[in-house]
Amino acid sequence: MPGEASRFSHGALRVAVLAGGPSAEHDVSLASAASIREGLLAAGHEVLAVTITRDGAWMHENELIALVPGAGLLGADVAFPALHGPFGEDGAVQGVLEALGVPFVGAGVAASALCMDKVLFKDLMRAAGCPQVDYRGVWSDRFAEAPADVLAELAGLGLPVFVKPARMGSSLGIVKVQVASAMTAALEEAFSLDELVIVEAMALGMEIECALLGSREQPLVSTPGQIVLDGDWYDFAAKYTPGGMRLVIPAPISSTAAERVRSLAREVFARVRCDGLARVDFFVDGEEVLVNELNTMPGFTPTSVYAKLIEESGVGYSALVDRLCRLALTRRRGAHLRER
């Protein structure tokens, strides 16, 4: 209806902000969601706080929500899943929202699942010819059956390497292995969080991040920023401890390398069929640019890297969360028109 389209394009929206979840990033999600709610309120929207407990229950105002396929979510116009890690970014919640019939911010089911799985993502990037660090994926059952074979394969990466749970965010469970004798313990620690582990070769150069906002056909691509660390590498403490890292915008790299970062960010965003937003991480050494990973729902406080990069491009925090909600509605209306 014309009136409805006008309201969605310009008027106040009823937005359900999802927070928490059963993953190890529950508390990080709560912080992101609190900032998003404040930003949406400042933009003039009505906000519905939905907390997903560590047990997976959906709550609103301390009441359990009954989820009925096709019945929406608390009458919301759009949902903003401010969720990180498994269940939040892996397509599971996105599938629930699809079943409920609620437009939602961010990547869809397939793109979310693909980008959450670091091995699958890197396999796709390799098939597409995107430059990236060397890596190996290791399943827990194969390591249990043939540990010597696995360790021999991993030796080909050299040292040091980083051992990570393949489907976890916020640098949780990552171990830097500098001597071969420490590899087994590092793998077992990562297996405690995920049955699939990725082992990556050490990358030289700067850690560079680039933010995208918009449709995959024509996203806004930010100026690249550099992550400067006080510690040895970008672990959980560096990400979430005040003073653990600082962001330098623009990154002190050549104009050629900066344009290569932006071009690759745009290419990767489109190739995995993301939508709405993403942060793409790189390693840059001189003119060499390597893709590291794509995060479909990065940390979302006003001081998070994603928000800072987008703000540098001229979009403040309230305008950012407002635009993301309207992008979700535009995408849903476009899908409905294609189905007719």
pLDDT digits over 57-98, tens only?
999 999 999 999 999 999 999 999 999 988 899 999 999 999
Q: What does residue 195 show for φ and ψ, rounded to 5 degrees?
A: -75, -15
pLDDT, one tens digit per residue, over 293-306 is 999 999 998 889 99
Domain ranges of the chain: 2-105, 114-131+204-296, 135-201
Our answer to whether residue 281 is catalytic in this structure is yes
Our answer to whether residue 299 is catalytic in this structure is yes
Q: What is the bridge-based pairing of β-strands 14-20 and 46-52? A: parallel
Residue 131, token pair as written in the block:
């430059």
Q: Catalytic one among 89, 209, 281, 322? A: 281
Please report which confidence band the pLDDT of residue 154 belongs to, taking 50, 70 and 90 as the band edges: very high
* Contact assessment for residue 65 and residue 74, using Cβ atoms and an 8 Å cutoff: yes
| Superfamily of segment(s) 114-131+204-296 | ATP-grasp fold, B domain (3.30.470.20)
Q: Catalytic one among 23, 29, 222, 295? A: 295
Q: Catalytic one among 29, 170, 292, 304? A: 170
Our answer to whether residue 326 is catalytic in this structure is no
Asked whether residue 161 carries a pLDDT value surpassing 50, the answer given is yes
Topology at the third CATH level for domain 135-201: Dna Ligase; domain 1 (3.30.1490)
pLDDT at 335: 58
Closest CA to 111 of 276, 329, 325: 276
Q: What does residue 177 show for φ and ψ, rounded to 5 degrees?
A: -105, 120
pLDDT at 171: 62
* Alpha-carbon span 146 to 166, nearest angstrom: 20
Predicted TM-score (pTM) of the model is 0.90
* Contact assessment for residue 160 and residue 174, using Cβ atoms and an 8 Å cutoff: no
* Alpha-carbon span 44 to 1, nearest angstrom: 22
* Alpha-carbon span 183 to 159, nearest angstrom: 10
Q: Please report, rounded to a whole number, the percentage of residues in the chain having pLDDT higher than 90.
A: 82
pLDDT at 3: 39
Asked whether residue 7 carries a pLDDT value surpassing 90, the answer given is no
Residue 9, token pair as written in the block:
């394009």
Our answer to whether residue 170 is catalytic in this structure is yes
Our answer to whether residue 91 is catalytic in this structure is no
* Alpha-carbon span 157 to 21, nearest angstrom: 35
pLDDT at 86: 87
Please report which confidence band the pLDDT of residue 340 belongs to, taking 50, 70 and 90 as the band edges: very low
Q: Catalytic one among 21, 91, 276, 299? A: 299
Q: Catalytic one among 20, 23, 25, 117? A: 25
Please report which confidence band the pLDDT of residue 337 belongs to, taking 50, 70 and 90 as the band edges: very low
pLDDT, one tens digit per residue, over 190-238 is 999 899 999 999 998 999 999 999 999 999 999 999 999 876 655 555 4
Buried b / exposed e along 169-201 (16+ C-beta atoms within 10 A): bbbbbbbebeeeeebeebbeebbebbebbbbbb
Q: What does residue 142 show for φ and ψ, rounded to 5 degrees?
A: -70, -40
Among 2.30.30.30, 3.40.50.300, 3.10.129.10, 3.40.50.20, name the CATH number for the domain at 2-105: 3.40.50.20
pLDDT at 281: 97
Return all residues near 235 (Cβ < 8 A) that are at least 6 apart: 171, 174
Which one-letter amino acid corresponds to residue 177? V
Q: Catalytic one among 293, 304, 306, 326? A: 293
Closest CA to 167 of 140, 143, 149: 140
Q: Catalytic one among 240, 316, 318, 333? A: 240
Which one-letter amino acid corresponds to residue 293? E
Our answer to whether residue 25 is catalytic in this structure is yes
Q: Catalytic one among 37, 279, 323, 331? A: 279
Other beta carbons within 10 angstroms of residue 318's beta carbon come to 17
